[in-house]
Structure formats: C-alpha cells, structure tokens
Chain A
Amino acid sequence: MNAFLQRFARNRAAFAGFLVLLAIVAVAIAGPSLFHAGPFELAGPPFSPPFGRYPLGTDMLGRNELAGLVYGARTSLLIGLAATLFATLLGVVIGGLAGYYGGALDHALMRVTEMFQTIPSFLFAILVVAILSPSIRTVILAIAIVSWPPMARLVRGEFRSLRNREFVQACIAMGMSDSRVILLHVLPNCVSSIIVTGSLLVATAILTESALSFLGLSDPNVMSWGFMVGAARDFLQRAWWLCAIPGVAILVTVLAINLVGDGLNDALNPRLRH
C-alpha cells in the first residue's frame, strides 16, 4: 500500500489531478451551506458580467452563476459515481460469469456484450432517458446501460486467466464452492484493474451526462453543468461566458479524473509502465 502511494504521489500529473478532484468534491459537499437559496433562485439582474457583485456573474434569468456551478458539481459527481458503480456491478457479474465458467455461457454473454458495443450508445442513452422521462434515476440507468461492456470484457479476461492459475485450481480441487472461489480468491485479484477502468468510466459518465443535459435531458429539479451551457446557448452572442464557464468546469473535472485514472494505472500495474 505504501509503495503504491509513493508511486502515485511521484507521478506529478496524477497528484495534481487528485488535488483538483479533492477541491471539487469539497466544493460539492459544501455547496448547500455556501448557497442556502439553491441554484434556481433569482439573485440579481440578468446578464451581470463576471467579477462584479457576483463572482461569475448572473445568467439570462438573473440566477447566480457560481451557485449553479457549485450545485452542478454535486450533480456531475453523483451521476458519474452512481452510473459507474451500477455499470461496474453489471460488468463484473456478466464478465465474471463468462470468464469463470467459459463454454456456451461465455459465448452467449460475450455475444450480448458485443451487440451492446455495436449499438450507438449515446443515441440509446437519449432514447432511454427520453422515453422513461428525465430524472436523476433514469439518467444514471441510461449511462450505466451503455457503459458496462468494456468492464465486462476486462473482467472476463482477468477471470479467464486467473481461473487457470494454480492457486485457483487448488481451491477448486479442495472442493471449495464456486462462489467462495470467485469472491475470496479470483475477484480480489482483479480489483486493481477494475478500479483503473472504473475511474476512467467516471470521466466518460460525466461527459455523457453533460451531453444529455445539454440536449435538455436532465432532471428539471436539479442544476447541472450541461444544462447551464444548453440554456445559455441562445445568448451566445450577448454573453458567451455563460456557455464558457460551465464548460470549463466539465473540462477540469474530467481532466482531473483522467489524470488520476492514468496515475492509478501506472501505480497499480508497474509492469506496464513505459
């Protein structure tokens, strides 16, 4: 663990990403105590420019842009994490079953995985949210449904190779039940790969959520960065910064998560380093 922390901290880009991410999480947690009124409350005259009475100005309805940004962080992180957890669960179960048992089950499950990879995923996410009507839950569901295949393929590969290792064979020969072998011996050995892939999935999930909410497919009661950009789009000529600012927030968050993910990859799989 110590060696891992050292390797991670020595990677300057990953460490910087980690600090930025920590700051975003802190802001997201502190959000409601910073802005009691919430992100939808009218705070002042519309189109106040940034760096005046309001640090980032106000939007076309006079809502405080900074408050929107802070509450948007909560939405992005919540949806990114929840969708990734759900997708990881799906991917681990499907990939694990396919990799451990092999044979016809493997063949069938991998065919389904391939099919899901062929489907235009963002369009499918749009369909799911549009038909089930936009809410936090349907957005999480839609993102999870389109992002589990890479996780399933990864877990399947790991399970397949671990299945043939001596220590696993020994457990099976000792008469240990399948569920015990899988949960106590196989799964713990692929946790690091799952974490790396999962961390990158969080970044993709946040990008997908922002694109969905940009198109108007977000929970109407919740502020989100993509929604802020989408709503300000009609006023691009008059106040381009209303589009620019939430976009920068998305960019910085996703970049930080990607850097952390790459750093985790290097620290957890030192063999793969160039």
Chain B
Amino acid sequence: MSVARDRARYIGWRLAQAVPTLLLIVTLNFLLVHLAPGNAADVLAGEAGSATPQYMAVLRHEFGLDQPLYVQYLDYLRNVVSLDLGYSFREGMPVRDLIATRLGPTLLLMGTTIVLSIGLGVLLGLLAGTRPNSLRDNVISVFALVSYATPLFWVGLMLIVLFAIELRWLPTSGMVNIAAFYTGWAKVGDIARHLVLPAITLSLFYMALYVRLMRASVLEQRDMDYVVTARSKGLTERAITYRHVLRNASLPIVTMAGVQIGNLLGGSVVVETVFGWPGIGLLAYKALFARDLNLLLGVFFVAACLVILVNIVVDVIYTMLDPRIALR
C-alpha cells in the first residue's frame, strides 16, 4: 500500500519536474521561429512561395505579429498548454490530430527496437565479457565496433537491397500491404513482416552500444566480492553468471536505455524515411520536405513529451529491479 503511494507521489514529482524542460522546448521553438530570416508568417507558411498576399495577411493576423514579442510568446505558450499545436496548411489537418494518427506505428517500432537491442546487447555483452580476449569476445567486439560506426540510413538501404530487392524475402517499405486487405491474424503477420527490416536497422546501433557497455560492466562485476563468495560456496560459473552477474551488470544498461530514448526518436526519423514507415518520423520528414514548419515544431514538442514520459517509466522499472534505489 505504502509502496504504491510512494510510487504515485514519485511519478507526480517527476511530472512536475518535467515542466521546466517543456517550457525550455516551447521557448526554443518560439525563438527559432522568430530568429529565422524573414518574419514568422513567412517561416510558418510562405517558404514554398505559394502563399498569396491575402493568405499572408490572414496568417499575420492569426499569429498576432503586430503584437509585442512577449504577447506573442504568452499566446504561443497558452496554445501549447491547451494542446493546440496549430494547423498544418499543407496536410489540411490540425497538427495534433495528424500526430495522433502517426504515434502508434512509431511506438511499435520503438518498442520492438528497445526489446531487440537490449535483449541482444545484454546477451552478446555477457557472452563477450565472461570470456575476455577469447575468439568469441573478439568476434562480438568487432561486430559491435563496426555496427557502432555505421550510419543508420545506410544499414537500412543495404538491407533493402539484400532482403527486399535481391532475395525478395521481405517488403521494401510501408507498414501494411495495402492491396491485400488482411484482417485479424493475417494483418498482424503482415505488419510483423514489414516491421522486421526497420526494427533491425534501428536496433543495430543501440545493440552495439549496449554490447560495449555490458561487456565493460561484466568485466567490472567479475572481481566483486559477491562473485568470490558465490564461487567459494561452490556455485557453478553458469549459475554465478546468470543468477548474480547478469542482474547486477544489467543496471547500467537500463540507465543508458533511458538516456537513449531521445536519440532513438531521432534515429526513427531516418529509419522511417528509408522504409516509408508511417510514424511521426516520416511525418517530420514530409514536413521538412514541404517546409511545413508548424508541423515540424509540433512533432518535436510531442517527441520531447514522449521522451520525458518514457524516462519516468524507465526510472520506475529501475527501482523495481534494484530495491536499494529508493523512490525519492
């Protein structure tokens, strides 16, 4: 009971802490739009050159550009707080609704990537770290080193060439086969087939990061007193590794996974662009292409909110894994 109450209070405290960060993001958004060459109405709508003078006048009125800067700032702030992220003139839809329809695919891709990269990263890091400088360690370490240096978009394109164009095992792009009209489990299977390549692409870099971290962490834990104790008790190396070292060595991975959420969203812009995966990353790319900056600002704001939420979830998981860390 009291644990549940502590947890609720902790989450509330963390949400309150997120307010200044969100304020910073909104302020940065506002500053960027106003720092840009030309005025905000040009930036927000006119860059493609298709705007008529009448339309610009409407926009200027709408953005209150005749008002002093601080009034504009407060207006902008009030809009964001009431979750009004403006209107995308290119897509003909409110930005908020546009993002809402795209959030699901991104969350699916991110979730799969997190599970895949942490799972494989921890496993390979453990295999490498328990037998340092062996052939096994060297193969895994070189694989991690190369994956760590490879640009995501390039991995994606090469996987498309190999598995979609040459071997024809998997689809090149999209999330569903539009022509097939699958329902039920057939649809789930279809989405899963489309998910394979994007998820592998996005996972590779983070997996490499976790392998390196896990290997170092295992090497550090190997000489700890509790391992010596376990060994002197007569436990097998296998039991020591899987029951004791694994749990302790995984903690830095959880921390790092929380830190990487923001970067993961950045990476998904690239991966969704390569694979035509209909999430907020592809939306950001399309917004970029159409010079629809209002939509781009909205995606950035929602992505930041997502990062903050996921971080809170990660911290709660952390306290469940390691009871020594109290909820503060």
> 8 Å CB contacts to A: which residues of B233-274?
259, 262-263, 265-267, 269-270, 273-274
Size bracket of the B interface? 35 or more
**Min CB distance, B20 to chain A, in Å?**
7
Are A226 and B151 within 8 A (Cβ)?
yes
Query: Majority SS of interface residues in chain A?
Result: helix
> 8 Å CB contacts to B: which residues of A99-128?
111-112, 114-115, 117-128
Q: Which residues of B contact A121 (CB under 8 A)?
A: 262-263, 266
Are A251 and B146 within 8 A (Cβ)?
yes
Are B266 and A120 within 8 A (Cβ)?
yes
Q: Which residues of B contact A112 (CB under 8 A)?
A: 24
The distance in angstroms between the C-alpha atoms of A158 and B299, with both chains bound, is 37
Q: Pick the contact of B296: A127, A226, A237 (CB < 8 A).
A: A127
Q: Pick the contact of B304: A118, A131, A230 (CB < 8 A).
A: A118
| A244 in the interface (beta carbon within 8 A) | yes
Q: Which residues of A contact B95 (CB under 8 A)?
A: none
Are B265 and A120 within 8 A (Cβ)?
yes
Q: How many A-B residue pairs have CB under 8 A?
A: 147
Q: How many residues belonging to A are interface residues under a CB distance threshold of 8 Å?
A: 45
The distance in angstroms between the C-alpha atoms of A106 and B304, with both chains bound, is 24
Q: Digit string of A200-217 for contact with B (CB within 8 Å is 1, else 0)?
A: 000100010011001111
**Min CB distance, B93 to chain A, in Å?**
20
Q: Pick the contact of B33: A123, A131, A230 (CB < 8 A).
A: A131
Q: Digit string of A116-149 for contact with B (CB within 8 Å is 1, else 0)?
A: 0111111111111011110000000000000000
Are A258 and B307 within 8 A (Cβ)?
no
Q: Which stretch in B62-70, B79-87, B155-163, B177-185 binds the other chain?
A: B155-163
Are B32 and A127 within 8 A (Cβ)?
yes
Are B262 and A119 within 8 A (Cβ)?
yes
Q: Digit string of A231-270 for contact with B (CB within 8 Å is 1, else 0)?
A: 0010011001001100100110011001100000000000
Specify which of A123, A233, A240 lies most central, judged by the most chain B CB atoms within 10 Å of its CB. Answer: A123
Closest to A209 in B: B151
A-B contact pairs, 19 of them (CB 8 A): A112-B24, A119-B24, A119-B25, A119-B28, A120-B300, A121-B262, A126-B284, A127-B297, A128-B32, A131-B35, A216-B288, A244-B157, A244-B161, A247-B150, A247-B151, A247-B158, A254-B150, A254-B151, A258-B149
Beyond A123-B303, A211-B151, 19 additional contacts (C-beta under 8 Å) are A118-B311, A122-B266, A123-B265, A124-B300, A127-B32, A127-B296, A130-B288, A131-B33, A133-B37, A203-B149, A215-B273, A216-B288, A216-B289, A226-B151, A233-B274, A243-B161, A244-B161, A247-B150, A250-B151
| Residues of B near any A CB (own CB < 8 A) | 20-21, 24-25, 28-29, 32-33, 35-37, 43, 132, 145-146, 148-154, 157-158, 160-161, 165, 216, 219, 259, 262-263, 265-267, 269-270, 273-274, 284-285, 288-289, 291, 293, 296-297, 299-300, 303-304, 307-308, 311
